[in-house]
Structure 1
């Protein structure tokens, strides 16, 4: 088989694929138009988030058998069109689940203990201890919305914090484990102190977290989104923060992450959020560690090997 790789990957990807007998063309600088013009030559495509693999792209790929997404989400692939052409899809949520879980905990610790704010003040020669008194995760009720790979990894890492962990996943049944208790969303709205989103982006989850969703929490919560920005309506989150419905927010993802494409309303919402000390941002790097860079390759290649074995049976 011959593969086209259109995103930057850890250098280990090429020898790993070669071990499977796969010839790979590594073209991280290629764009949608260029990739579409050559994809007819390939049986496999490896992509991270370079562009949306739409029906038009797939129609130009008569030989394509496999798309490997270097990450967890599949929202940049037209899955219906891929199935129509009998193209197999794989992803690698196992590769960065621990990175995401650690990042979420890191953001929460930084926010709840005012680490970033205090650091900024001290650099301005301001020494305020009482104003920077923090809170502990211990004793809190943490709700994980979406209990797949990253949700489970977060619950496991939270087990050392002596907190209570609840989980809810509308797609699963009997999914609780020793790290989290399976509950309904009504129970989460009633009991949560901290809420972390770990959902894929689908038509059902797009704009799921709006003002009506947030105001259902019985007590003010800390809110974390490291999944997909489009799941949360930012202007509604801003309103909830201003009204004290949300005590603080950790955001690794945004509705629009291309700042040059922001509408005026989106820009004004972000500027208002930037002004709030109880909001912490990172640039979609929760799963972007040096270690996960390698593990994603390993997870993908393991699944590619399985695909080849099944295809040869």
Structure 2
């Protein structure tokens, strides 16, 4: 890597604020948001660094064509598109911008939960149709519920901070942390979350362990009917199990910013059946993977990325 001007290939669409930040920090870069995988493989040997969003999969094949690659920056939180074992073997530094969109994600969680508990979307649709049904839209107060957060990293902590203002009890479980209870959430075991939570909100990355974690068995283990929130990764929740939970009443409602398969034109037969159920249900609130996708977070993610890049210049 050249000491003054590390060269970076930016392989995904990025907010233009990144370029000014890289210029000021003394990096040279090539911006190719439309680059194909074949072109990326062909060009990557020339670069010290790679910046991606969610289009680019970094696997062994790609890395075998990148002998000079020293770092990979992910403009977002999840690292599931990067083979972390392969990058570690090659000594490639991998970092992400999880703190860049944590506030956006936390606000989205609270917004979806409030809309679900107060029947806001259902009531809005009905009033527009001339239906004035007060009793049918009687809601529940967030402050009366116990919220269980599964995962207490950037997004979990930011969510707990916002939930605390509503007066609800917040429990947090994180397999990889110890002594992490704070002003906003009580440290808890998964068993305690299962036993006491009225709302379960997912704030974990997609790994082999968390893939399809919320399945029939998981839902059955929760002690009481509960609300489910998933703003993490769609593949953590089995849609067919979710539908069964909604049908049985074990799941009172759900907020989904992500889906098991987000290519809605390419759903399997089973996924289509589950999606058709979810989209017609008044107990489901959907959004298109935008929880961390605010105007502010788009810039903040770049700030977090460049801050981590600067020490790699030498």
Fold shared by both chains (TM-score > 0.5): yes
The superposition leaves residues 21-43 of structure 1 with CA deviations (integer Å, 9 ceiling, x where unpaired) of: 11111111112222222111111
Equivalences for residues 155-166 of structure 1 within 5 A: 155-166=160-171
2:90 is equivalent to residue 116 of structure 1: no
2:242 is equivalent to residue 237 of structure 1: yes
User: RMSD across aligned C-alpha pairs, in angstroms?
Assistant: 1.0
> Which 5+ residue runs of structure 1 have no aligned equivalent?
none
Q: Which residue of 1 aligns with 2:263?
A: 258
Q: Which residue of 2 aligns with 1:176?
A: 181
The superposition leaves residues 157-215 of structure 1 with CA deviations (integer Å, 9 ceiling, x where unpaired) of: 11110110000011111111111001111111111011100001111111111111111
2:76 is equivalent to residue 71 of structure 1: yes
Q: Which residue of 1 aligns with 2:145?
A: 140
2:285 is equivalent to residue 280 of structure 1: yes
2:29 is equivalent to residue 18 of structure 1: no
Normalised to the residue count of structure 1, the TM-score between the two structures is 0.97
Equivalences for residues 1-313 of structure 1 within 5 A: 1-308=6-313, 312=314
> Which 5+ residue runs of structure 2 have no aligned equivalent?
1-5
The superposition leaves residues 222-278 of structure 1 with CA deviations (integer Å, 9 ceiling, x where unpaired) of: 110000011111100110111011100000001111123211111111111112110
**Does the 8 Å CA contact 1:99/1:287 hold for their aligned counterparts?**
yes
Q: Runs of at least 4 residues of structure 1 off by over 4 A?
A: none
**Does the 8 Å CA contact 1:31/1:50 hold for their aligned counterparts?**
no
Deviation at 1:65, TM superposition (A): 0.5
CA distance in 1, matches of 2:234, 2:60: 24
- 3-state SS of paired residue (1:215): helix
Number of residue pairs matched by the alignment: 309
